[in-house]
Amino acid sequence: MSPVLAGVLQLLALSAALALAYRPLGDFMAGVYSCDKHLRVEKWIYRAIGADPSTEMRWPAYLRGVLAFSAAGVLFLYLLQRIQGALPGSLGFSSIDPDQAFNTAASFVANTNWQSYYGEQAMGHVVQTGGLAVQNFVSAAVGLAVAVALVRGFARSRTGELGNFWSDLVRGTVRILLPIAVIGAIVLVACGAIQNFSGIHGVGQFSGGAQQWNGGAVASQEAIKELGTNGGGYFNANSAHPFENPNGVSNLFEVFLILVIPFALTRTFGTMVGSVRQGYAILGTMVSIWIGFTALMMWTEFHHGGPAFDLAGGAMEGKETRFGVAGSSIFAVATTLTSTGAVNSFHSSFTGFGGGLTMLGMQLGEIAPGGVGSGLYGMLIMAVIAVFLAGLMVGRTPEYLGKKIGTREIKFAACYILITPALALGFTAAAMALPTPGHSMTNSGAHGFSEILYAYTSGANNNGSAFAGLNADTQWFNSTIGLAMLLGRFLPMVFVLALAGSLAEQKAVPVTAGTLGTHKPLFAGLLVGTIVIVAGLTYFPALALGPLAEGLAS
């Protein structure tokens, strides 16, 4: 079987699995966030944290809950790393330096999971399981909660109430993420991923000598890192490591975990607003971009550019032979079009155009299908922009899901889409202008610029993957990327929740003959065009200096 055909079959199998899970999972999540009853374990949690789950919150109170919980998470994870040397199960590792501890705490709380350290050489069992793995759950649950709050803003009328953050947080963790992650971990163990708490031990090599390896609760962390679109690896090689991702079956299953909740959330959205066709329109937009990017990535990585490419059957540099070009391409697109950041190959070793596609996927806002929760609310923001542009073209006040998109709403949407480009491009410009950050680059020219651009694009968009070749474990990069991750995560949430509150206060507008049909393919096409144009106008000059220049020169 040719590698190209194998890749197409993998993509078809993945699409079929996602299609089978779409409706039941989407309806289940809608039921979770619409139910008035609380499980017994949830009531115990509410009593422990002193929260009243029945209290409805307006958007400022909801936002305060998000920020307070996340700030506590940053502080706890920072302190846990700083005292690691005194903890049991530390495997002899010392405490983490202040700048790196801040970067890692910000990274995992912001659902980014950027790692400027070697996981198997820095973090003990307690930090890995009690700190990083916990944040993999709750940071994803925060994203789900904010997305559901925005959906309620569209669904409700004449009330500024968006639900209860603590209830949404606990339900998302207990009823959605935890059960699926348990099943996912069992599947990964069956595929060959390790799950233990062993210490450091020597492993013999074929060429003689030995290597030092430590075990860990890898399968369980791998499951939630992919399911929650987190991305942090137990080992430095991330999902290219055989302990995390043993074979082609586990590779495809991990991609399924990455995509299943973000895609199914469009069904949740349609169900909660009372029109599943609206969910299908958003789904169609996401799928179109995802399939387009995957096809382009496979084309550019299978493109033969010389004898070495011919012999290898494609651009195999930096890729695992266990997965090949197709498995690596599907994985790379899935992780950069979501906020996952896991890698099973080195994106820096992709072709110039292939590396550019991974960057562009993040620069679109990671909305096809995007992160858990963040992909849906990012896509809904773009839908508001698309409706506004359509209204300008026909001279009519724009409406979306029965809500008028006025000056206030479009200001919130505009602020949302400007934050991450300002962070990514601003920090990239500063790093290129100052001499100290430049010393971390191992490449010059277009590829060296791409390393810096990729790092800040990844941080500001809460992705977490790296372009490799860049030594990011410095005070400058730990501090600035840490700030980019926090600001890129929580500033957009401010405007999402403010928009949700504004929409919930409105009275529903009846549908008329002049209302734009936002459930039709025409609107999905308009939405795709809006996304591509907005991202293209924002990032094209930077991409032209980096991956495009490199691709045209090769």
**Residue 128 CA from chain centroid, whole number:** 20
Contact predicate 149/497, CB 8 Å: yes
Q: Please name the amino acid found at residue 4.
A: V
Confidence bin at 309 (pLDDT 50/70/90):
low
Q: Please name the amino acid found at residue 222.
A: E
pLDDT in tens, 162-196: 999 999 999 999 999 999 999 999 999 999 999 88
Cα separation of 494 and 498, whole Å? 6
pLDDT over threshold 70, residue 439: no
Name the least confident of 2-11, 40-49, 132-141, 192-201. Answer: 192-201
Token pair in block for residue 114: 């950027």
Mean pLDDT over each residue of the chain, to the nearest integer: 90
Which whole-number Å values give the CA distances from 120 to 46, 133, 188, 401, in the listed order? 35, 15, 19, 49
Q: Does residue 554 or residue 328 have the better pLDDT?
A: 328
Q: What is the 3-state secondary structure (H, E, C) of 125-148?
A: HHHHHHHHHHHHHHHHHHHHHHHH
Q: Tell me which H or E stretch contains 99.
A: helix 98-109
pLDDT in tens, 315-373: 777 788 889 889 999 999 999 999 998 999 988 888 888 889 999 999 998 999 999 99
pLDDT at residue 206, as a whole number: 64
pLDDT in tens, 79-132: 999 999 888 878 888 888 899 999 999 999 999 988 887 777 778 888 888 889
Kindly write down the DSSP assignment for every residue of 300-330, as one continuous string. HHH---SHHHHHHTS--TTB-TTTHHHHHHH
Residues contacting residue 327 through CB under 8 Å, at least 6 positions apart: 7, 10, 248, 251, 252, 320, 344
Helices of type H across 338-444: 352-363, 374-394, 407-433, 435-438
Token pair in block for residue 139: 């940071």
pLDDT at residue 313, as a whole number: 59
pLDDT in tens, 250-262: 999 999 999 999 9
pLDDT over threshold 60, residue 415: yes
Please give the average per-residue pLDDT across 431-447, as a whole number.
Answer: 76
Q: What is the longest distance spanned by two Cα atoms in the chain?
A: 77
pLDDT in tens, 502-550: 999 998 888 777 778 889 999 999 999 999 998 888 999 998 888 888 8
Q: Does residue 426 or residue 90 have the better pLDDT?
A: 426
pLDDT in tens, 217-250: 899 999 999 999 998 888 888 899 899 999 999 9
Residues contacting residue 432 through CB under 8 Å, at least 6 positions apart: 438, 449, 452
Confidence bin at 205 (pLDDT 50/70/90):
low
pLDDT at residue 161, as a whole number: 93
Residues contacting residue 208 through CB under 8 Å, at least 6 positions apart: none
pLDDT at residue 552, as a whole number: 79
Which whole-number Å values give the CA distances from 519 to 79, 135, 525, in the listed order? 48, 36, 11
Token pair in block for residue 313: 């059957």
pLDDT over threshold 60, residue 311: no
With a pLDDT cut of 70, the percent of the chain lying above it is 94
Q: State the CB neighbour count (10 A cutoff) for residue 238.
A: 27
Please give the average per-residue pLDDT across 148-154, as a whole number.
Answer: 97
pLDDT at residue 438, as a whole number: 60
Cα separation of 126 and 128, whole Å? 5
Q: Does residue 482 or residue 471 have the better pLDDT?
A: 482
DSSP state, 349?
G
pLDDT at residue 302, as a whole number: 85
pLDDT over threshold 80, residue 210: no
Residues contacting residue 2 through CB under 8 Å, at least 6 positions apart: none
pLDDT over threshold 60, residue 301: yes
Cα separation of 120 and 128, whole Å? 10
Cα separation of 188 and 15, whole Å? 20
